[in-house]
Amino acid sequence: MAKHLAPEQEKKEKKTIRLPKIDTEALPRVVDFRLGQEKKRYMREFSLRSMVPVLAAALLFLVGFLLRGPAWVRVLLLGASALCSAFDLLRRCLIRIVNKKLPDEELLFVIAAAIAFGIGEYAAGAFSLLMIRAAELLQGYVLARCDRGVDMLRSILPEKAVVLHGDEAVETVPESIEIGDVLRVAPGESIPVDGEVLSGVSRVDCSALVGESDSVSVSIGSKVRSGFVNLDETLTVRAEKSFSDSAAALRLTSFEQARAMDSILEKRLNRYAAIYTPVVAVCALLLGVILPIFTGDWSGCLRRALIFLLLSSPCALLISVPLCFEGAILSSERRGVRVFGKSIVERLARVKTMAFGKTGVITDGRFEVTDVFPDGVGEAELLGIAAAAESHARNPIGEALRRAGGWTRDTAAGVMQLEEIPGRGVSAFIEGRHVYVGNAALMEEHGIYYLTPTRVGSAIHVAVESSYWGHILLSDKLRDGVFDAMEDLRAHGVGQMVMLTGDVMSVSKSIAAALNFDMVRSELSPEGKLSAIRYLMQGLGDRATLAYVGDGIHDAPLFDGAHVGIAMDALRYDDGVDKADVSVMSGEIRRLPQLLHIVSGAWRAVWQNIILCCAVKALLLILAAFGAVPVSVAAASDALVTVLTALNSLRCYTVE
């Protein structure tokens, strides 16, 4: 499971630029070249110069194959074609030997071609090497197209920053910014690091992180992220994170970490491939050397062994399957959904049950006070003491109570020993009095008598020195498009939808009925939610998985407890998001069915590639064992499968 790496706090001397933690130069680069005036191709690790041997091999093969002249001329031309094709293969094998490494299957291809020439199959030997090199080039094209996605992620990294030292503005690189530095961001410039706006009122474009065109207004005190683009007026921003720990850099870092970690399926394929190649090579040895001793048919047996050698490479599978997973991760990233690992894609593709928190997931998470029911005190006094008790709480209910109670810093001055009780509320000493503010479970836990609300809403009870002061009702509205999102999730194979919430039954039941949830569990503590998740996981099959969708505030244990933890509105909440397997940058719940659409398409492509590759190789090996397939047909078929699987994987990068 790929997670954010914990940042290390580094110190540096004045005027010393810190080296970046992200080496963008080490990432794959795309080399452009032109064929003719119009066509443009993107090749990784292949320049026009490196293609000259392959183009020469193709030309020599065509001339030698079509020439109706002396036999020795045809053999000479086909031999020259084979040497041109084998040039890079032999060079790479020699490099591995010099580096004291065993040659890979490329050496088997050269040996197979040599056997073909030895038994008079000149055209087949040259053609097989040409097909191998052509398939390599096409795979390089596909890989380069995939790496263009990395360039897209790299493009949002700011290239410069302006740091203010008093009245002096110094232009520097973002990597040298320290926490606490004051930055100037002009209109049209990208914000280099995460921070807080100190002055200025403007709009910022968040599309680089949230996945679509989206702008928000910011002013003094607003939190901004690196990668946001300032649109209107100049802003001054105080850096709260270093460059490597900021949103834009973490986006690229998390993608690189995700693509570097193999999924469970990839690990199995690697184990099978480590067995497949030597087994097929041994079979080729038996067919070409041992069997002719008994049959006397050296030419026929060598042809069969030649085909076995040509089919001994599992590279088509080992390249195309990881590309499918990487394509799903990159397609999700473009939509503002960060998936921390290829194994997470594999689990998401098998999700059959989804459990949801309510606040901040199903609902907007922006509570408003609707009714106040004091008991022996005034409304203003009840709201005031509730706001004071919630003065430091980092949850939507605390924010709503502070707004309604007219909270100020002076109000919080007398608050002492504040303790936030997860799933219950808060406990604090205010002006020497012990105050409890929370739900009914908190009141019952401390033996405090309370009144049961008669109206629908989330009830927050207030008690001072064990004396009940009344309760406050809050309401929260459903997110836009939540009903359609739930139905789309069902359409993508989610069979069971469950809502787990700490809210009262009257509120949660009405929401669950409106959205057609299969199950709802209300008035749960965090421990109760974790127990519910474990219970739901016990009812799943061996391969089905459960995903929990939360808002990241108190959900870190739930993310760890589920097969897949999905954090919503990750740009808004930092706590707990690093424990999630998937982070949805915005709060748009419609991103969830989009995510399942992407991963299900990638999962289908994975198995299409596996089935196609295994079926064709198995068929060709069986036919070759009985001498029923020509060498050239086997070489062309294997090359075609390599190209088709690579192109099929490429579709995962362009999911709409």
Residue 453: φ, ψ to 5°: -60, 145
In 3D, which of 614, 562, 566 has the Cα closest to residue 587? 566
3-class secondary structure per residue, 65-79? HHCCCCHHHHHHHHH
Residue-level pLDDT at 146: 65
Stretch 597-608: mean pLDDT, rounded?
94
Residue 520: φ, ψ to 5°: -135, 135
For the cut 90, the answer to whether the pLDDT of residue 257 exceeds it is: no
Strand 351-356 versus strand 545-550 pairing type: parallel
Per-residue pLDDT tens for 329-375? 888 888 889 898 889 999 999 999 999 988 888 888 778 888 889 88
Whether the CB-CB separation of 642 and 135 falls below 8 Å is answered with yes
pTM of the model: 0.78
For the cut 50, the answer to whether the pLDDT of residue 147 exceeds it is: yes
Strands (E), 226-336: 229-230, 235-239
- ∠ CA(306), CA(308), CA(310), 5° rounding? 70
Stretch 614-618: mean pLDDT, rounded?
92
For residue 292, the one-letter residue type is: P
Stretch 423-433: mean pLDDT, rounded?
85
β-strand partners of 550: 567
Label residue 19 by pLDDT band (50, 70, 90): very low
Residue-level pLDDT at 48: 58
Q: How far is 649 from 139, CA to CA, in rounded Å? A: 10
Helix 591-625 to helix 631-650 angle (10° resolution) is 180
Q: In this predicted model, which residue has the larger pLDDT, 554 or 9?
A: 554
Range 161-245 has CATH code 1.10.260.40: no
For the cut 60, the answer to whether the pLDDT of residue 10 exceeds it is: no
Label residue 618 by pLDDT band (50, 70, 90): very high
For residue 371, the one-letter residue type is: D
- Choose the CATH number for 368-475 among 3.40.1110.10, 3.20.20.70, 3.40.1280.10, 3.40.50.150: 3.40.1110.10
CATH of the domain spanning 340-364+478-585 = 3.40.50.1000
- ∠ CA(358), CA(533), CA(359), 5° rounding? 10
Label residue 262 by pLDDT band (50, 70, 90): confident
Share of the chain above pLDDT 70, in %: 86
Residue-level pLDDT at 296: 83
Query: Over the chain, what is the mean pLDDT?
Result: 81
Residue 356: φ, ψ to 5°: -125, 140
- ∠ CA(15), CA(21), CA(24), 5° rounding? 110
Label residue 609 by pLDDT band (50, 70, 90): very high
Whether the CB-CB separation of 103 and 93 falls below 8 Å is answered with yes
Per-residue pLDDT tens for 515-570? 889 999 988 888 889 999 999 998 887 789 999 998 866 677 888 889 999 988 88
Range(s) of the chain covered by CATH 3.40.50.1000: 340-364+478-585
Q: How far is 207 from 335, CA to CA, in rounded Å? A: 9
Stretch 570-594: mean pLDDT, rounded?
80
In 3D, which of 12, 567, 9, 568 has the Cα closest to residue 241? 9
Residue-level pLDDT at 351: 93
Q: How far is 432 from 430, CA to CA, in rounded Å? A: 5
Residue-level pLDDT at 13: 36
